[in-house]
Amino acid sequence: MNSRTKLFFPNLDALRFIAFFVVFLSHVLLIHSANELPFSYANFIRKHAHTGVLGVNFFFVLSGFLITYLLLKEKNEFGTFSLFKFYGRRVLRIWPVYFGIVIFSFLVLPLVFPLFNKTFFEPSPIVFYLTFTANFAFIIGYYPHSSLLAMLWSIAVEEQFYLFWPWLLKFFNRNIFLLLILIIVLNLIARIFLFDYPKALYFNTLSIISDFGIGGLIVYFSLYKTEKMIRLFSVSKFYWLLFYAVLILGYFNYEIIFTGNFMTVIERPVLGLFFGLIIIDQCFNTNRIFNAGRFAFINYLGKISYGLYCFHPLGIIIAKDILEQFNFFTSPFQSFIIFPLLALSFTILIATISYFTIENFFLQQKQKLSS
């Protein structure tokens, strides 16, 4: 893809940061969920913090959207897309940090822990991380000791998607819409069969793929049904405001809404549709009520969001260990305000170092493959 076709959606980086941030909040706010703190708002935070894991769903929809857009846009302009360049770009973007974490967790940590009179043993077999199948390791009960490794299951799912998606797009060359519908139907069938297995329902790739399919649907309508999509979503700001109000209300009532057999089965595609509407609003709606990418710092954090996501467990651990040295966790303000802010600061610092010392070099090579 040459410079004239370089893809840029102004608000996409900000959406990446938002997806990371709700995951981060979920993890950092639950650290002290067992504390008996005498304030009702602390109980409210603990009750709803876990819903932040939906940020991973949002990441998947974003990935389905962006990767499908890149491939189909290249195909439309040049008649085809290069598999070699596609896989090269994905390897250069994902692998350096991913395998850096794998090496650190399996080879470095066992050497470092004894220096602090601590024992370290990683029960999760390394083969799952070398083959990008860590999500299946979770299903069969191999939970990693390294919290950094725990983040890699979702990267594994994305890599599985990247492996097959360009081939499927080539095979369904003239029936892209059919492919996307089949992906969503396959997801629903998988969720029906996996209903009695909660871990598989959450971690199995087939029970997740509607997220990527819905991201692809947005691309299909934006590229091939542009006028229809514009007419459909060019509604007044009032309706978009109503949509976001419903979205926020649903977020805080997630467990109430998605209970029972039927709602559990359709949960993934329903949430994917809501996340897809956010993407449509922020990337295509000229009448949007706000721009997620309005602030430069948020855009910067979105640019380094891969590192933020992968390294935030380390930022949380560092902040927690430092504060515990001062017997800090004695109030909700300390646990739910100061601690998350410090953990986020460490996470940003680590991700920034990773971006400019490691990732940026490979991103420059990746850019060459986009030329």
- Gap between the Cα atoms of 294 and 232, Å rounded: 25
| Residue-level pLDDT at 232 | 80
Rg (CA), the chain: 21
- d(C-alpha 353, C-alpha 360), whole Å: 10
For CA atoms 83, 87, 89, 90, give the dihedral sign: positive
The band of 5, judged by pLDDT with boundaries at 50, 70 and 90, is very low
Q: Which two three-digit tokens encode residue 133?
A: 């199948």
Mean pLDDT to the nearest integer, 207-226: 94
- Segment 165-187 shows an average pLDDT of 96
Burial of 93 (0-12, 13-18, 19+ CB in 10 A): middle
Percent of the chain surpassing pLDDT 90: 71
- Is residue 58 within 8 A of residue 206, CB to CB? The reply is no
The C-alpha angle with vertex 6 and arms to 61 and 294, in degrees rounded to 5, equals 65
As a dihedral over the C-alpha atoms of residue 137, residue 64, residue 218, residue 10, rounded to 10 degrees, the angle is 130
Altogether, the residues listed in the chain come to a count of: 371
Task: Please enumerate in sequence order all residues whose Cβ is within 8 A of that of 268, keeping only pairs 6 or more positions apart, or say none.
Answer: 57, 187, 191, 207, 208, 210, 211
Whether 292 has a pLDDT exceeding 80, the answer reads: yes
What is the structure's pLDDT at 42?
66
> Residue 2: pLDDT above 50?
no
C-beta separation of 304 from 351 below 8 A: yes
- The answer to whether 319 and 349 are in contact (CB under 8 A) is no
Kindly indicate the confidence band of residue 371, based on its pLDDT and cuts at 50, 70 and 90.
low
pLDDT at res. 231: 78
Q: Do residues 92 and 369 make contact, with C-beta atoms less than 8 angstroms apart? A: yes
In this predicted model, what pLDDT tens digit does every residue of 221-280 receive, in sequence order? 999 887 778 778 888 899 999 999 999 999 989 989 998 899 999 999 999 999 999 999
User: Quick check: 351 and 24 in contact, CB under 8 A?
Assistant: no
- Name the pLDDT band for 41 (thresholds 50, 70, 90): low
Q: Report the chain's mean pLDDT, rounded to a whole number.
A: 90
DSSP 313-353: HHHHHHHHHHHHTTT--SSHHIIIIIHHHHHHHHHHHHHHH
- Structural domain boundaries in the chain: 3-369
pLDDT score of 156: 98
Query: pLDDT per residue over 55-108, tens digit each?
Result: 999 999 999 999 999 999 999 999 999 999 999 999 999 999 999 999 999 999
Q: In a 3-state reduction of DSSP, which class is residue 120? A: coil
10 Å CB burial of residue 50 (0-12, 13-18, 19+) is: middle
Residue 34's pLDDT is: 47
Whose CA is closest to 62, among 8, 130, 15?
15
Q: Judge whether 204 and 139 are in contact, CB under 8 Å.
A: yes
Q: Which of 163-177, 268-282, 287-301, 322-336 has the lowest mean pLDDT?
A: 322-336
Residue 194, both tokens: 């996996």
pLDDT (mean) for 173-182 = 95
Residue 4: per-residue pLDDT: 41
Question: Do 146 and 107 touch, CB atoms closer than 8 A?
Answer: no
Distance CA 42, CA 332 (A): 6
pLDDT bucket at 336, cuts 50 / 70 / 90: confident
Indicate whether 160 pLDDT > 50.
Answer: yes
